[in-house]
């Protein structure tokens, strides 16, 4: 019996020595699998590229580094999302969440550059001046470094009036221009009334200013006050 027991021990020893380390290593690898930061950064860049579709010009994205000491558990499907209050141009923050096998959320900084043409004042512009095509020039630059609302389409500037004076080379912004009044207070306008099977035109006097598309009031010769939509050429349309 002593001889048999010794033989069993001898036979089992190689199995224990040769088999267990591999199994232990496999279990250890499974429990210590960590998320590759490079994969997360690539996912953030792809997410921002999709979000930037529709922005004017050439888009260049710089994604910040992820702190290696976070030592995040590996994620089956990281989900990027735009952090609350973040903008799509300039410095921004993108969240990445994981739901399985471990739940975690991190935020990654990024900088979205948009290189495009924008409009500037080709000459000094006075307050209330109507802008013509000769008053604007095109410049190229990074829109993310400019004030919000910079105009990139000349059609959004020509024909409008300045709300304040602008120096030579100043970028034109949407909030510094307004559409010219289609109807002015006290102006004799043409009041057009249309409905099913009829159309009536009469003169009236505008009771306020209105740009095209705005609702204005006008008084008819009979003293009736009628509201309608201002149109170019001193016309106010009333639909029934």
* pLDDT tens for each residue of 104-144: 999 999 999 999 999 999 999 999 999 999 999 999 999 99
Cβ 138 vs Cβ 119: under 8 Å:
yes
Half-sphere exposure (CA, 13 Å, Cβ side) for 34? 9
Q: Which residues pair with 239 in a beta bridge?
A: 194
Range with top average pLDDT, 26-40, 53-67, 192-206: 53-67
- State the Cα–Cα distance between residues 46 and 64, nearest whole angstrom: 14
Residue that wins the pLDDT comparison between 70 and 21:
70
pTM check: above 0.85: no
Question: Which residues, at least 6 apart from 13, have a Cβ–Cβ distance to it below 8 Å?
Answer: none
Q: How confident is the model at residue 233 (pLDDT cuts 50, 70, 90)?
A: confident
Are 96 and 78 in contact by the 8 Å Cβ rule? The answer is yes
Mean pLDDT of 29-52: 88
For tokens 């204005």, the residue is 216
CA Rg, the chain, in Å?
34
Evaluate the omega torsion of the peptide bond into residue 109 and state whether it is cis, within 30 degrees of 0: no
Tell me the backbone φ, ψ of residue 77, rounded to 5 degrees.
Answer: -150, 90
Q: Measured between alpha carbons, how far is 234 from 208 in angstroms, rounded to an integer?
A: 12
Task: Give the Cα separation of 177 and 228 in Å (integer).
Answer: 24
Sign of CA dihedral 10, 11, 17, 20: negative
pLDDT category of residue 31 using cuts at 50, 70 and 90: low
pLDDT (0 to 100) of residue 85:
86
Q: Is 212 within 8 Å of 189 (Cβ atoms)? A: no
**Which residue, 212, 150, 152, 153, is CA-closest to 175?**
150
What domains sit in the chain, N to C, each tagged with a CATH number?
37-114 (no CATH), 115-179 (3.90.1210.10), 181-239 (2.30.30.760)
Instruction: Name residue, tokens 């029934």.
Output: 240
Res 13 pLDDT > 60: no
The span from the CA of 79 to the CA of 15, in Å, is 44
Percentage of the chain exceeding pLDDT 90: 68
Cis check for the bond before 101: say yes or no (omega within 30 of 0): yes
Pick the residue with more confidence: 44 or 11? 44
pLDDT digits (tens, 9 = 90+) for 138-187: 999 999 999 989 999 999 999 899 999 999 999 999 999 988 888 989 99
Q: Tell me, what's the pLDDT at 26?
A: 46
């Amino acid at each position: 019996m002593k001889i048999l027991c010794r033989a069993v021990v001898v036979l089992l020893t190689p199995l224990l020595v040769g088999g267990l380390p591999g199994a232990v290593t496999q279990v250890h690898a499974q429990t210590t699998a960590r998320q590759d930061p490079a994969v997360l950064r690539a996912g953030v860049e792809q997410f921002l590229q999709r979000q930037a579709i529709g922005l004017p010009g050439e888009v260049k994205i710089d994604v910040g580094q992820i702190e290696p000491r976070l030592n995040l558990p590996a994620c089956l499907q990281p989900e990027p999302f735009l952090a609350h209050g973040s903008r799509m141009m300039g410095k921004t923050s993108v969240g990445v969440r994981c739901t399985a096998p471990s739940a975690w959320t991190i935020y990654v900084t990024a900088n979205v550059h948009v290189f495009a043409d924008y409009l500037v004042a080709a000459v000094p512009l006075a307050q209330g001046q109507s802008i013509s095509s000769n008053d604007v020039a095109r410049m190229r630059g990074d829109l993310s470094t400019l004030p919000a609302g910079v105009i990139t389409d000349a059609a959004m500037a020509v024909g409008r009036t300045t709300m304040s004076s602008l120096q030579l080379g100043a970028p034109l912004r949407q909030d510094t221009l307004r559409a010219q009044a289609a109807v002015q207070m006290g102006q004799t306008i043409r009041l057009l009334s249309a409905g099913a099977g009829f159309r009536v035109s009469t003169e009236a006097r505008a009771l306020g200013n209105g740009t095209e598309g705005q609702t204005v009031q006008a008084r008819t010769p009979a003293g009736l006050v009628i509201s309608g939509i201002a149109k170019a050429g001193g016309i106010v349309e009333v639909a029934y």
